[in-house]
């Protein structure tokens, strides 16, 4: 059957058997492309007096799950939830910085920890993505004699080089 635009046919009538599955994929991809984001840099930085903490220096608006959320500057964010992720000597690690709809900021052990897996055969997701907005990442590099434990080791400890990077979206690993 050919699609005849002059007869009033539509995609709904033309291919109803594939439309449902395609909509699941398109809707999820569209939400990811347009969805969770910040409207500006949050100003990720090391916390001044307690160097095992980090902070944000800017108040911004973020979108989480399609809804605007006011995110104020936060002066004391703990990384202790990742204390089991020890960065060994002579290593580099990237920790994703995320905010949820309540404004709580947290770290993940990688930049892509909360993305769903989409089954291309059925165009369905393995599960709903954790509703968080990516704000940036923390890059931690250790020298040949020191390790780094989030929440315990200071971000500016001897033998540890830390870089805080604000991002508009999750970067391609080749761009890190």
Mean pLDDT of all residues in the chain?
77
Q: Is residue 2 part of a domain?
A: no
Q: Is residue 150 part of a domain?
A: yes
Nearest of 175, 38, 167 to residue 96 by alpha carbon: 167
Q: Is the pTM of this model over 0.85?
A: no
Total domains, the chain: 1
Q: Is residue 5 part of a domain?
A: no
What pLDDT, in 10s, does the model give residues 53-103?
A: 999 999 999 988 788 999 999 988 988 888 888 999 999 999 989 998 899
- The whole-angstrom separation of Cα 120 and Cα 114 is 18
Nearest of 72, 37, 38, 79 to residue 57 by alpha carbon: 72
Q: Is residue 42 part of a domain?
A: yes
Pairing of strands 132-142, 160-166: antiparallel
| Residue 43: band (very low, low, confident or very high) from pLDDT cuts 50, 70, 90 | very high
């Amino acid at each position: 059957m050919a699609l005849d635009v002059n007869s009033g046919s539509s995609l709904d009538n033309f291919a109803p058997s594939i439309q449902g599955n395609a909509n699941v994929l398109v809707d999820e991809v569209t939400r990811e492309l347009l969805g969770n984001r910040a409207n500006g840099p949050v100003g990720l930085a090391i916390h001044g007096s307690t160097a095992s903490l980090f902070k944000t220096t800017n108040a911004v608006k973020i979108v989480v799950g399609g809804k605007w959320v006011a995110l104020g500057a936060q002066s004391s964010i703990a990384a202790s939830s990742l204390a089991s992720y020890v960065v060994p000597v002579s290593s580099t690690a990237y920790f994703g910085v995320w905010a949820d709809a309540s404004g709580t900021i947290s770290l993940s052990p990688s930049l892509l920890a909360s993305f769903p897996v989409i089954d291309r055969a059925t165009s369905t997701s393995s599960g709903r993505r954790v509703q968080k907005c990516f704000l940036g990442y923390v890059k931690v590099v250790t020298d040949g004699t020191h390790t780094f434990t989030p929440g315990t080791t200071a971000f500016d400890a001897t033998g540890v080089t830390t870089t805080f990077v604000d991002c508009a979206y999750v970067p391609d690993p080749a761009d890190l």
